[in-house]
Structure 1
């Protein structure tokens, strides 16, 4: 039975590609913290049967559907990357829906604080839904190295992704806490535990 007066505060968790954001998020989940991933919310809103998918098909035609009725993401991506106008149309449709999805999922939290993980927390303005921001940071060379190993991509591709994401300065300017993830996984885990104990002492995300 949840206490109606109890409302967890929201921590925004972000970081550039290869920073270790997902690993940090998993440690928080293991500690029992309720967490929603904005990327998952973005997938949920376009599932078959949801109004957003019907609107996308109405706008772009059946070419954006796979044979099984699911959204063909790569077909849609090709259409919107060629045309900024279409990309804006899609963002206008989806961003509010993704926001609602995130809010309703965070509202189910029963932990003292809940986490919104989003690679685009700063760029999308999603940080406004949070009371505190934790940035997982890493030296750029390490980000590139990790991503190349993980995704078997070239350095050029990783550089292109880094350029498209918020600059480190932009992200850090919104940070309340910064975790420099440049050591081993055990160290990351202990740092997350340290932050978790600190967060449990906070009310509304601020000391």
Structure 2
């Protein structure tokens, strides 16, 4: 069984593409969702985040204060890296346990900052989801009901799309849903062939 990393810039449609792979029977691990879960429920992660960002990083009910955290880390690359250095090792441990329970020819690990975090090194193949920047911004504005400046701030903390594409084995352009689904099917077929030949 090999690991396929799935990534793409904010608003590119990684979740949509991951869902299409899942519909084709591929087990999918969503690293960002797992990171959020660990921040909310893993005591050692919670303590490390509090010691780094202060008790205000959590609300009275024990849930992460996401607005407070985002307000700090998305304006300071060093702080973002420090937060990631707390969360990513815990996510990597979760992924390893999850992968051991899978029996499919390959598994998909979806992560927004697959390259930035260095976790691409643990993947056998990389798929990048691509879309024009203007469309990506529009999607995030609609999805998150946020300000354009906030979206652009988050984009600055991610690798440029062209850099991701250069280091990827496959690129899926996600503009039209039906075309995207077809492209996912083609990539899935190629990956299945590779799994048979390895």
- Identify whether the pair has TM-score above 0.5, normalized to the shorter chain: yes
Does structure 1 residue 11 correspond to structure 2 residue 4? yes
- Shift in Å at residue 50 of structure 1? 2.6
Does structure 1 residue 108 correspond to structure 2 residue 101? yes
Does structure 1 residue 40 correspond to structure 2 residue 38? no
Q: Tell me, yes or no, if the aligned pair for 1:12 and 1:130 is still in contact at 8 Å.
A: yes
Q: Tell me, yes or no, if the aligned pair for 1:34 and 1:109 is still in contact at 8 Å.
A: yes
Q: Specify the structure having the higher radius of gyration (Cα).
A: 1
CA distance in 1, matches of 2:180, 2:74: 36
Q: Tell me, yes or no, if the aligned pair for 2:75 and 2:153 is still in contact at 8 Å.
A: no
- CA change 1:121–1:85 in 2 (3 A) is closer
Q: Tell me, yes or no, if the aligned pair for 1:14 and 1:135 is still in contact at 8 Å.
A: yes
Does structure 1 residue 145 correspond to structure 2 residue 138? yes
> Could you tell me which residue of structure 2 aligns to residue 163 of structure 1?
156
Instruction: Please report the TM-score for the alignment, with normalisation by the length of structure 2.
Output: 0.85
- Structure 2 gaps, min length 5: none
Moved more, 193-202 or 159-168: 159-168
- Shift in Å at residue 171 of structure 1? 0.4
CA distance in 2, matches of 1:155, 1:81: 14
Secondary structure of the residue that 2:39 maps to in structure 1?
Answer: coil
Q: Tell me, yes or no, if the aligned pair for 1:35 and 1:106 is still in contact at 8 Å.
A: no
Aligned ranges 1:126-145 → 2 under 5 Å: 126-145=119-138
- Shift in Å at residue 129 of structure 1? 1.3
- Structure 1 gaps, min length 5: 1-7
Q: Deviations over 1:146-170 (max 9, x none)?
A: 3333334454443333332211121
Q: Tell me, yes or no, if the aligned pair for 2:30 and 2:109 is still in contact at 8 Å.
A: yes
